[in-house]
Amino acid sequence: MTSLHSRPVTVRPRPELQALMQTDRTLDPGITLPASWYHDPKIWQRERWPIFGSNWVHVAYDHQLRNTGDYVTENLAGWPIFIRRKDDGTLSAFYNMCPHRAGPIVFEGEGCSKNVVCKYHGWAFNADGKLLSARDFGAEAPDNMDLTAIQVGSWRGMVFVCLNPAIAPLHEWLGKFPGEVAGVPLESYRFHSKSVRHVACNWKTYGDNFLEGYHLPTTHPAMSRDADALNYQVLYKGDPRWNIHTMPPRDESTFGVFGYFWPTFAFDVFPGGFAVERWLPRGHTHSDLIFEYFFDDNAEGVEDIVKFSEEVADEDARMCEHVQRNLDAGNYATGVLSPKWEYPLAVFHRMIRDAIGPVDCDER
Ligand code: FES
Ligand SMILES: [Fe+2]
């Protein structure tokens, strides 16, 4: 493990964060993160472990891992990992990296693998990652040649992983957030479809965009007609890591409630359905924006709802790519935040600063 792995992780909200979450909207939320933080590879390297390695990140669903041997891979902020269903019915997760010479245990994607055998030279491991045999090695394999396990947990059908073993188990880490979605009958919804956009923007550019409703009337005119976007609200309930967005519905509104959980998990509640919206970093220059839709069997207008949501996603992706090009251009240093609308960005940016710690002058 590199020294990054021993960096302490901030888990307790600081007083400034509490202030930023207050309902007094006259507080000055200040300025944005420096533009350079949205494209500097050194900042990305600083972010990876404390943000993506040391928080639980949603990467798969129980329905993809129904049977023994079912696996799903992910590239989590540059760390290839896989999750696999064991024959005792529980999940295990590992870095997808063999200790011999870094070969993959499974190729990218999803599938079913009865045995855990490295694709490169065929070393075999048991379901808990313990080395069983180093095929034709010519000597006894050294000790400590097991796969490296990572934390895995599932909440309401959604599978999360956490690379840092020091972080609390998923259910503890989620805090009071599950109570906010307790009323959404996720278990009675069925998977409908998935879309993936490879967006040319840093993960924070999309995060900034998700966290404010200021852009709705201008970036999403159809969405603003659908519901009362001028009264969009982002509510904090004492935990800076998550917030709930509400927009007063009109008669047949498609959109009404959204939620966000640090660092890149969000959800959208629709009539008779639900979408998970997440944006996984693909290096510092791109993000995969992933939507997964779930609906009740009796939900009405499902295709229209999905089409509408996808149009909004296109509008956001296009806007974020434009913003990113300007952040990259070198003639923009920092932006200003609206006290009325953009205080969630101030919270988000403070959490990023807290996570990565002091930064040299040339990166500030
Ligand atoms: S890299 Fe896995 S067996 Fe060689
Ligand atoms: Fe948007």
173, 192, 220: which is the final residue of a domain?
173
Query: Which atom number of ligand 1 is nearest to the Cα of residue 119?
Result: 2
**pLDDT band at residue 14 using 50, 70 and 90 as cut-offs:** low
User: What burial letters (b/e) apply to 257-296, b meaning 16+ CB within 10 Å?
Assistant: bbbbbbbbbbbbbbbbbbbbbbbbbbebebbbbbbbbbbe
Both tokens of residue 17? 């964060």
Pair 95, 213 in one domain: no
Q: Do 251 and 325 belong together in one domain?
A: yes
Is cis: bond before 34, omega within 30 of 0?
no
Q: Do 190 and 139 sit in the same domain of this protein?
A: no
CB of 100 shorter than 6 A to ligand 1: yes
Shared domain check, 154 and 280: no
Confidence check: pLDDT of 3 > 90:
no
Residue type at position 281: P
Give the ligand 1 atom nearest the CA of 118: 2
Matching residue, tokens 């999905």:
306
Report the range of poorest mean pLDDT among 55-59, 225-229, 247-251, 280-284. 247-251
Looking at the predicted structure, is the pLDDT value of residue 105 above 80? yes
Residue 361 pLDDT class (50, 70, 90 cuts): low
Residue 341 located in a structural domain = yes
Ligand 1 touching residue 131 (CB < 6 A): no
Residues 167 and 218 in one domain: no
Tell me the pLDDT tens digit for each residue of 273-330. 999 999 999 999 999 999 999 999 999 999 999 999 999 999 999 999 999 999 999 9
Average pLDDT taken over every residue of the chain = 92
Q: Tell me the residue range of the domain where 119 lies.
A: 57-173
Q: Let me know if residue 89 belongs to a domain.
A: yes
**C-alpha angle 146/151/156, rounded to 5°?**
140
- Does residue 178 lie in a domain region? no
How many whole angstroms separate alpha carbon 274 and alpha carbon 294? 5
Q: Is 70 found in the same domain as 45?
A: no
> Helix 343-356 vs helix 203-210: angle between axes, to the nearest 10 degrees?
150
Which ligand has the shortest distance to the CA of 255? Answer: 2
Do 24 and 112 lie in one domain? The reply is no
Position 3 in a domain? no
Domain stop point among 119, 149, 173: 173
Structural domain count, the chain: 2
Please name which ligand lies nearest the alpha carbon of 105. Answer: 1
What CATH number is attached to the domain comprising 116?
A: 2.102.10.10
Average pLDDT over residues 226-254: 90
Mean pLDDT of 246-256: 83
**Considering the domain boundaries, does residue 252 fall inside one?**
yes
Instruction: Please tell me whether residues 132 and 38 are part of one structural domain.
Output: no
- Report whether pLDDT(45) > 70: yes
Cα distance between residue 309 and residue 106, in whole Å:
33
In whole angstroms, what is the distance from residue 274 CA to residue 191 CA?
A: 10
Q: Has residue 352 been placed in a domain?
A: yes
Query: What's the gap in Å between 363 CA and the centre of ligand 1?
Result: 39
Which ligand minimizes its atom distance to the CA of 118?
Answer: 1
Compute, in degrees rounded to 10, the torsion defined by CA atoms 49, 156, 83, 9. 10
How much distance in Å is there from the Cα of 44 to the middle of ligand 1?
29
SS3 3: helix
3-state helix, strand, coil in the chain (%, to 5): 30, 25, 45
Whether residue 80 sits in one domain with residue 46:
no
Q: Report if residue 81 sits inside a domain.
A: yes
Confidence at residue 83, expressed as pLDDT on a 0 to 100 scale: 98
pLDDT classification of 1: cutoffs 50, 70, 90? very low
Q: Within this chain, do residues 287 and 323 fall inside the same structural domain, yes or no? A: yes
Q: Which of 148, 173, 198 is the last residue of a domain?
A: 173
Residues 202 and 151 occupy one common structural domain: no
Asked whether residue 279 is domain-assigned, the answer is yes
Burial class (CB in 10 A: 0-12, 13-18, 19+), 148: middle
Domain harbouring 238, CATH code: 3.90.380.10
Quote the DSSP letter at residue 284: T
What one-letter code names the amino acid at 90? T
Task: Verify that 99 and 202 share a domain, yes or no.
Answer: no
Q: Shortest CA distance to 293 belongs to which of 171, 177, 189?
A: 189
